[in-house]
Amino acid sequence: MRLLLVEDDDRIAGPIMEGLVRYGFAVDHVKSGASALSASPAALVLLDLGLPDMDGIDVCRALRARSAVPIIMITARSEEADRVVGLEVGADDYLSKPFGVRELVARIRAVTRRTHPERHAPPRTGTTGVPLQGSPHARLPEERGDQHLGPLTINRRTRGVTLDSRPLTLTPKEFDLLAQLAGDPGAVHSRQQILDTVWDPNYFGPTRTLDVHVSALRRKLGDPSWIATVRGIGFRLTVPGDSAYA
Ligand code: CA
């Protein structure tokens, strides 16, 4: 697996590259936004937000505009606002400096699993071997084809979503969030359930991240009532105008 590391500070890039190579990754290293955008395609991008020539957020947005490559932002503590914007423009995750290589590798694996779920991890089952309720694999009849919810169509194999037959462009996280809620339409999904499934079982970042993604998804769906907030608990998917999911 070839990664692209975009980091202008050699004191940070050096140990990261050394560590990743030790874990069996191949790493291309560039030091500017311009060279990140002209680099050959990678399986995943590690993107420092503080770059000498361009705002890392703009680099993230440009990368996302042309591909679904997983992006993990590398940020300094002072860039907290940027992290939220970065997630909004399509980054999949972020790490705050300083971090260890084991943590980085865990994030790379988690992000890769989420964006290419079919290549990893067997279907999740409960101790009885029965698919867990609400897990991505609890929806066997729909796994192979389209799920229709009013004007919304979700295809988990192609990760394609259409609304009134028009394709929606969702980030990997937005798709996972929608797929999770659509796995049991009308049911309440707790914030923790969503963070565990869509982010990481050990997710410890700001929970505002979830709200940012919910807002972005509502905007793209064109009607905020698609995703109802259940105060103090979480969210549920409703189909506007369809009393079956009200
Ligand atoms: Ca930097």
Residue 33 CA to residue 10 CA, distance in Å, equals 15
Question: What mean pLDDT comes out for the span 5-31?
Answer: 92
- The CATH number of the domain covering residues in 2-117: 3.40.50.2300
Residue 191 CA to residue 219 CA, distance in Å, equals 19
Task: State the pLDDT confidence band at 125, using cuts at 50, 70 and 90.
Answer: very low
Q: How far is CA 38 from CA 35, 41, 171, in A?
A: 5, 9, 22
Q: Which pLDDT score is estimated for 141?
A: 39
pLDDT at 78 over 80: no
| pTM for the model | 0.53
**Ligand 1 centroid, distance to 59 Cα (angstroms):** 13
**Ligand 1 centroid, distance to 9 Cα (angstroms):** 6
All CATH 1.10.10.10 domain ranges of the chain, comma separated, are: 142-245
Question: What mean pLDDT comes out for the span 130-149?
Answer: 52
**Ligand 1 centroid, distance to 6 Cα (angstroms):** 9
**Ligand 1 centroid, distance to 213 Cα (angstroms):** 26
Q: Can the peptide bond before residue 98 be classed as cis, meaning omega within 30 degrees of 0?
A: yes
**Ligand 1 centroid, distance to 95 Cα (angstroms):** 13
- The CATH number of the domain covering residues in 142-245: 1.10.10.10
**Ligand 1 centroid, distance to 77 Cα (angstroms):** 12
**Ligand 1 centroid, distance to 17 Cα (angstroms):** 15
All CATH 3.40.50.2300 domain ranges of the chain, comma separated, are: 2-117
Least confident of 3-12, 31-40, 237-246: 237-246
Q: Which pLDDT score is estimated for 60?
A: 94
Residues that place a CB less than 5 A from ion ligand 1: 8-9, 48, 50
pLDDT tens string 155-177: 888 889 999 999 999 988 899 99
Residue 193 CA to residue 116 CA, distance in Å, equals 20
pLDDT at 204 over 70: no
